[in-house]
């Protein structure tokens, strides 16, 4: 009854084509890229402007209907799965870049803009939006804000939070909140912008984003460094980072990750058991090539076998495509996988990588470790071919989380807690912090209707 009333009101105010209860629309909104079970919403709503979102939240609040925001559904923690049914609030049609200001070096956009499109638009004005999740050709800026997404370039440039100057957020009360500013500096009041960044759609729905941009680097050099041992590659990461050079990316692929993408349009040299994708940026290519030589020298004692610098933009792109394919390509090795994204302090990278392999072996599971090794953020995958192994995967995941926390790390570096890591959150936060999280949630969403069942 309440759902029919909601549908009627949304159609009347936002147009016939703004809602659907067709089975294919509900099914498409039921699942993301996590390993979490799908759950169907009862209705999907595609707002086109902030006022539509405001209205939808106001109606859901009044009618007691759960509402789950979603972007491109590339999330890896189940955050956009509508576990309590209700309304799926699909932000993908709010996809306009509203402004790119060269003078202020800011971009203003709606949340449904694809991240890669924003980057390209900035580049046409010699500006640079650095956060580069490997899903950038599909994911939305709103989803990135909600997850505080990172990417390979976070090593040098930081994560989404470091670029969000201000937000417009629709609240469950039906109000529209503006946070932050358009200047680099600004400390008036509490930092509400930071509160919403990374809140995984549980505190409010982001309807507009103001991002700071940087000057586009003049030169970029990308190279693949292959090693004959995983331990060597891990030690090379530490040697590079402590050697006074800060590449913009330092991405690791272990032997399993290499096996998943080797030969599929990109060939690794024989004997490669691990690889690092190193990217440097700066003023000129010759200077960067010298830096690359110096960096390779630092890696030489650690089983370095081969250094290949990309000779053209096409080669660079090719290398990054191989990296971006890893997540999905792993499924060709085993039909099932559970993928985690723990992060550890830099001093613990070597130990963490070794202990992941030990955890896999102890539970009879194939592991793949790849990702943003330079900032300690490791995408650990447990791969298996039979659902009977699921209990072993659960035990291995718990061991991974315990190991990570014992090393002073965090259960999620960038994918968020969502559903997938909800049970582990208390281990990291402790009672006082968790209590404050609950108080904040109930202040902004007293009926618990916004993205229910997630995070806490």
Ligand X SMILES: Cc1cc2nc3c(=O)[nH]c(=O)nc-3n(C[C@H](O)[C@H](O)[C@H](O)COP(=O)(O)OP(=O)(O)OC[C@H]3O[C@@H](n4cnc5c(N)ncnc54)[C@H](O)[C@@H]3O)c2cc1C
CA angle, 201 as apex, 141 and 345 as ends, to 5°? Answer: 75
356 to 415, contacts with ligand X by CB under 6 A? 414-415
Q: Min. distance of Cβ 391 from ligand X in angstroms?
A: 26
Q: Is 139 in the site for ligand X (CB under 6 A)?
A: yes
Q: Do the Cβ atoms of 168 and 146 come closer than 8 Å?
A: no
Tokens representing residue 9 in the block: 């009101």
Q: Is 146 in the site for ligand X (CB under 6 A)?
A: yes
Q: Do the Cβ atoms of 148 and 159 come closer than 8 Å?
A: yes
Q: Where are the alpha helices (DSSP H) in 330-450?
A: 349-362, 390-406, 425-444
Strands 43-45 and 87-90: parallel
Q: Which of 143, 247, 376, 409 binds ligand X (CB under 6 A)?
A: 143
Q: Is 168 in the site for ligand X (CB under 6 A)?
A: no
Q: Which is nearer to ligand X, 305 or 415 (CB)?
A: 415
Residue 217 DSSP one-character state: P
Q: Is 76 in the site for ligand X (CB under 6 A)?
A: yes
Q: Is 232 in the site for ligand X (CB under 6 A)?
A: no
Stretch that binds ligand X, among 57-65, 143-151, 215-223, 398-406 (CB under 6 A): 143-151
Stretch that binds ligand X, among 69-77, 266-274, 280-288, 440-448 (CB under 6 A): 69-77
Q: Which is nearer to ligand X, 125 or 161 (CB)?
A: 161
Q: Which of 106, 134, 338, 417 binds ligand X (CB under 6 A)?
A: 134
Q: Do the Cβ atoms of 208 and 53 come closer than 8 Å?
A: no
Q: Which of 61, 82, 86, 133 binds ligand X (CB under 6 A)?
A: 133
Strand partners, 369: 380
Strand order in the sheet with 97-101: 97-101, 106-109, 205-212, 164-170, 176-180
Q: Min. distance of Cβ 353 from ligand X in angstroms?
A: 18
Q: Is 171 in the site for ligand X (CB under 6 A)?
A: no
Using CA atoms, how far apart are residues 307 and 224, in angstroms rounded to an integer?
6
Q: Which is nearer to ligand X, 54 or 140 (CB)?
A: 140
Using CB under 6 A as the binding criterion, the count of chain residues that bind ligand X stands at 38
Q: Which is nearer to ligand X, 122 or 206 (CB)?
A: 206
Q: Is 327 in the site for ligand X (CB under 6 A)?
A: yes
Tokens representing residue 355 in the block: 């202990």
Residue 76 DSSP one-character state: S
Residue 170, CA distances (Å) to 14, 89, 93, 95, 417 in order:
16, 12, 16, 16, 22
Q: Min. distance of Cβ 277 from ligand X in angstroms?
A: 13
Using CA atoms, how far apart are residues 335 and 385, in angstroms rounded to an integer?
5
- Total length of the chain: 456
Which residue's Cβ has the minimum distance to ligand X? 143
Q: Min. distance of Cβ 301 from ligand X in angstroms?
A: 30
The site map against ligand X for 181-200 (x = CB under 6 A) is -------------------x
Q: Which is nearer to ligand X, 88 or 225 (CB)?
A: 88
Q: Is 42 in the site for ligand X (CB under 6 A)?
A: no
Q: Is 70 in the site for ligand X (CB under 6 A)?
A: yes
Of 293, 317, 131, nearest to 225 by C-alpha is: 293
Residue environment code for 257-283, b if the CB has 16+ CB neighbours within 10 A, otherwise e:
bbbbbbeeebebeeebbbbbbbbbbee
Q: Min. distance of Cβ 300 from ligand X in angstroms?
A: 29
Tokens representing residue 297 in the block: 């020298």
Q: Which is nearer to ligand X, 324 or 397 (CB)?
A: 324
Q: Is 210 in the site for ligand X (CB under 6 A)?
A: no
Question: Where along the sequence are the contacts to ligand X (CB under 6 A)?
Answer: 32-33, 68-76, 79-80, 91, 111, 133-135, 139-140, 142-144, 146-147, 149-151, 200-201, 205-206, 327-328, 414-415, 418, 451
């Amino acid at each position: 009854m309440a759902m029919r009333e909601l549908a009627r009101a949304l159609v009347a105010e936002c147009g016939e084509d703004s809602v659907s209860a067709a089975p294919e629309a509900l099914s498409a909104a039921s699942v993301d890229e996590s390993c979490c079970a799908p759950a169907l919403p009862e209705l999907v709503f595609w707002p086109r402007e902030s006022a539509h979102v405001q209205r939808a939240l106001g109606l859901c609040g009044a009618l007691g209907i759960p509402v789950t925001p979603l972007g491109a559904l590339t999330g890896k923690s189940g955050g956009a799965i509508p576990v309590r049914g209700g309304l799926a609030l699909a932000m993908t049609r709010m996809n306009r870049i509203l402004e790119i200001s060269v003078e202020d070096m800011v971009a203003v956009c709606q949340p449904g803009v694809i991240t890669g499109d924003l980057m390209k638009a900035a580049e046409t004005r010699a500006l640079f939006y650095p956060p580069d999740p490997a899903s950038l050709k599909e994911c939305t800026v709103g989803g990135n804000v909600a997850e505080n997404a990172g990417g390979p370039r976070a090593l040098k440039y930081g994560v989404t939070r470091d670029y969000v100057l201000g937000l417009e957020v629709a609240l469950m009360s039906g109000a529209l909140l503006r946070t932050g500013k358009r200047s680099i500096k600004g400390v008036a009041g509490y930092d509400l912008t930071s509160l919403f960044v990374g809140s995984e759609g549980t505190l409010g729905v982001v309807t507009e984003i103001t991002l700071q941009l940087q000057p586009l680097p003049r030169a970029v050099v990308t190279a693949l460094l292959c090693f004959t041992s995983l331990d060597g590659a891990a030690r090379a990461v530490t040697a590079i980072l402590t050697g006074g050079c800060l590449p913009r990316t330092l991405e690791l692929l272990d032997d399993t990750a290499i096996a998943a993408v080797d030969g599929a349009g990109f060939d690794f040299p024989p004997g490669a058991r691990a690889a690092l994708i190193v990217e440097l940026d700066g003023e000129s290519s010759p200077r960067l090539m010298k830096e690359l030589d110096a960096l390779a020298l630092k890696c030489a004692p650690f089983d370095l076998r081969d250094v290949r610098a990309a000779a053209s933009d096409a080669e660079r792109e090719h290398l990054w495509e191989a990296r971006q394919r890893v997540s999905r390509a792993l499924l060709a090795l085993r039909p099932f996988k559970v993928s985690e994204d723990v992060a550890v302090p830099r001093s613990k990278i070597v130990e963490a990588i070794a202990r992941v392999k030990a955890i896999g072996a102890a539970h009879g599971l194939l592991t793949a470790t790849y990702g943003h090794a330079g900032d300690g953020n490791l995408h650990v995958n447990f791969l298996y071919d039979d659902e009977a192994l699921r209990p072993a995967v659960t035990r291995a995941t718990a061991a991974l989380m315990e190991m990570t926390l014992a090393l002073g790390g965090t259960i999620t570096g960038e994918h968020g807690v969502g559903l997938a890591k909800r049970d582990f959150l208390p281990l990291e936060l402790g009672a006082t912090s968790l209590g404050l999280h609950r108080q904040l949630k109930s202040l902004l969403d007293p009926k618990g209707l916004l993205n229910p069942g997630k995070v806490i």
